[in-house]
Each structure stands twice: as structure tokens, then as C-alpha cells.
Structure 1
């Protein structure tokens, strides 16, 4: 699978805005949570997949039409799979760009049956300047703190996952935001407590890589408190 650079992401997303105009679709808002977010922030040179979250089945359907409808000289993204369940929360699909080979992983509200894209995450998200003119395909970047939280839960401990977490830590994070968000998510879904041991392990891994970071120590203390 090919990697996609920041410049290519910008170019491909501009094409999706153009395609949305030609199709005259209703406005669509997508939230970037992973490597695509980091690439657009300049924290990663390229990414092999772009993780997108939408907030409802209706928005999912709009995105599906936008990616799959053929138009002259505009790419049709190839669906690789769609989750077997068909309800609003947690539905997921993977698309492959026909030429560049990078993938778009699309989730509805919940990512990999783990964390939710919450109202507070949405309130912290910002539209990057490159897409400020978009009216139909609106691109939002979740905050660095929220990317860290997602990655600390979904990371597979591949080299690139660890590098992404390190890059986020080195920007200087507000760890109280991370803690508060996790508290909010646990309050709404107690089953998420099962994720805590894995998060502690990843924080330990990070501190072995980059040394003592006051915020990571605070986060680990909190995670140990709630782990029981």
C-alpha cells in the first residue's frame, strides 16, 4: 500500500470538494483522527491510511456516494470492505484510491468499537486553513490531545504508531484534556475500562523511548487509579 504525503492529501481532498459540487450533494463534514491529521499538521511526512470519522449514517451515506459515484476525470474510490453490521454506531468501511493506492478508513461515530467521537472532541476540532474555502466537503482536524487518546487505544505498537505518539508528545500536550475526555467516555460507556491496561502499557513504552515527561507521569497515575 502506497503512502500519501501532505500535499497529496490536500490535492485529493480539493478534488473531493470539486466532485461534491458537481454532484450537488448536501454538506458533508469529516473528522480526521490519525496519520492524515498528523500529516496535515506537518508532524508526519506521509501516511498509508487516512482515518475519517463521520457523525451519522446520513453523513456516511453522503461520503459513500461522493467516493463511489463515477464522474469524468475524477477518481472513484474502490470499496475494500464494509462492516457486516448496518447501524449508526461503529459502522466502518475501507476505500482504496484507484491510482495512489492509499486507503481511507471511514467510521461512524465510534472507532474500532472503542472510543467515540464525542461532542467535546467535535468542539475542539478545527478546520485547517487549506480547506477553509470548502463548502460541501468540510474537513476537520481533531485536537492533538484527542489524536493521542485515540492512538493510545488503537495503536498496534508498530514502529510508525510509536513514532506518531512520540511526535504528539513532543509538541507539548495538555494532559488534563486527555484525562477529562477519557473520564467523559468512561462515564458514558463503562465497558471502555477494559482499554486502560493497554493504555498504561503504551505510556510505559513511550517513557522508555523518550524519558520522563511530567504529563505522561500524571496520565499514568490517573490510569492506574481507575484500573482498580
Structure 2
């Protein structure tokens, strides 16, 4: 599996904007989480995968057309997987770039049957300056606090995942936003409470790695309180 740098992500996303115009597509809005988000923020040099969320089935279909439709000299991403179900929440697909080998995962509203892209997350997302001119392939970066929450829940036991979380903490996070967002998600889906022990584990690992951070301690106290 290849890696993709910040510069390459920017280049590829500009190509997708060009492709969307040639295909005369309706606008598609994508929300970046994970390594692609961190790379565009300059918080990591490269990533092996780009994770994006779209807001509904129609947007999912537009994204499929954009990635899969062949046009001369423009990338056609190779489909590796698509979820068997066909509804508006939790659908997903994985693509691989034909030349560079990095993967691009597309989710509808919910990631890996865990956290949702909530309205508050959407409101906090920002359009990077590099893509402010995009008319059809519209890029949004979810906030650092929301990436922290997603990564605390979905990351594997990998060194690079912990490194990503450390990099986020070192930028300075608003832990009240993280707590409020988790409360928001739990209020809408009680089943997400099963994820709390995982977030506690990640937070404990972070504390052991980087020492005392007041916000992390506050977050840990809150997590232990709601875990019962």
C-alpha cells in the first residue's frame, strides 16, 4: 500500500475537481477525517489512506461516479470493497489509486458503525484555503477535536495511530468540545456507550506517553464518570 503526501493529496483533489467539471456533476461535499486531514494540516508527512464522509446516499453516488468514471488523463480509482447494504447511514466503499497505491475510504454519515458525522461536527468543519476555489468537489476538514474523537474510537493498536493522537494533543485542543460532542453522540445513540472503555484506554496511553496534560486529565475524569 502506497503513501500519499500533503502535496499529492492537494494535486489529486484538484484533479477530481477538474474531473467533476468535465462530468458536469452536481456538487459533492466531503468531510476529511483521519490521516488525510492531518496531512493537509501539516501534522504528518504522509498517510496510507484518506478517509472521507459524505452526508447521504445521493452524495455517495456522486462520489462513486467521480472516482469510477473513466476520462482521458484523469484518475480512475479502483473499487476494492463496498458494503452490501444500501441505505443512508453507514454505507461505505474502499478505493485504491491506480498509480500511487494509497486507499480512499468513503463513508455515509457514520464511520465503521461507530461515531456519526453530527451537525455540530459539520458546523465546525473548515474549507482549506487550497480548495476555496472548488465549485463541485468541495473539501472540508473536520476540527482537530473531532479528529481526536474519531481516532480515539476507530484507530487500531498501531504506533502511527498513537503518534497521530499525540500530534493532535500537542497542537492544543479544546477538551470541552470533545466532551460536549461525545455527550451529543451518546444522547442520540445509547449503544455508543460501549465505546467509552476504548476512549479511556487511548487516553490512558496518551497520558503515559506525554505526561500530565490538564485537558487530558479532565477528559479522563469525565470518561470514568460516565463509564459508571
The match for 1:118 is 118
Task: Identify the residue that residue 36 of structure 2 maps to in structure 1.
Answer: 36
C-alpha distance in 2 between matches for 1:171 and 1:76? 36
Q: Which residue of 2 aligns with 1:139?
A: 139
Equivalent residue for 1:148?
148
1:85 aligns with 2:66: no
Name 1:26's counterpart in structure 2: 26
The 2-side partners of 1:52 and 1:44 are apart by 17
The within-5 A match list for 1:71-82 is 71-82=71-82
Shift of 1:100: 0.3
> Equivalent residue of 2:29, what SS?
strand
**Which 5+ residue runs of structure 1 have no aligned equivalent?**
none
- TM-superposed CA distance for 1:197, in Å, is 0.5
Task: Report the number of matched residues.
Answer: 228
Displaced runs of 4 or more, over 3 A: none
Extract unaligned runs of 5+ from structure 2. none
Match of 1:222 in 2: 222
Aligned position for 1:204? 204
- 2:90 is equivalent to residue 105 of structure 1: no
Residue 8 (structure 2) pairs with residue 8 (structure 1): yes
Q: Which residue of 2 aligns with 1:176?
A: 176
**TM-score (normalizing by structure 2):** 1.00
2:99 partner SS = coil
State the Cα distance separating 1:155 from its structure 2 match: 1.2
Residue of structure 2 equivalent to 1:185: 185
Shift of 1:212: 0.8
The alpha-carbon deviation at position 157 of structure 1 amounts to 2.0
- Residue deviations 1:122-169, cap 9 Å, x none? 000000000000000000000000000000001112011000000000
The corresponding residue for 2:58 is 58
Deviation at 1:85, TM superposition (A): 1.2
TM-score (norm 1): 1.00
Residues of 2 paired with 1:119 and 1:73: CA distance? Answer: 37
Separation in structure 2 between the aligned mates of residue 51 and residue 2 of structure 1, nearest angstrom = 15
Structure 1 residue 71 displacement after superposition: 0.3
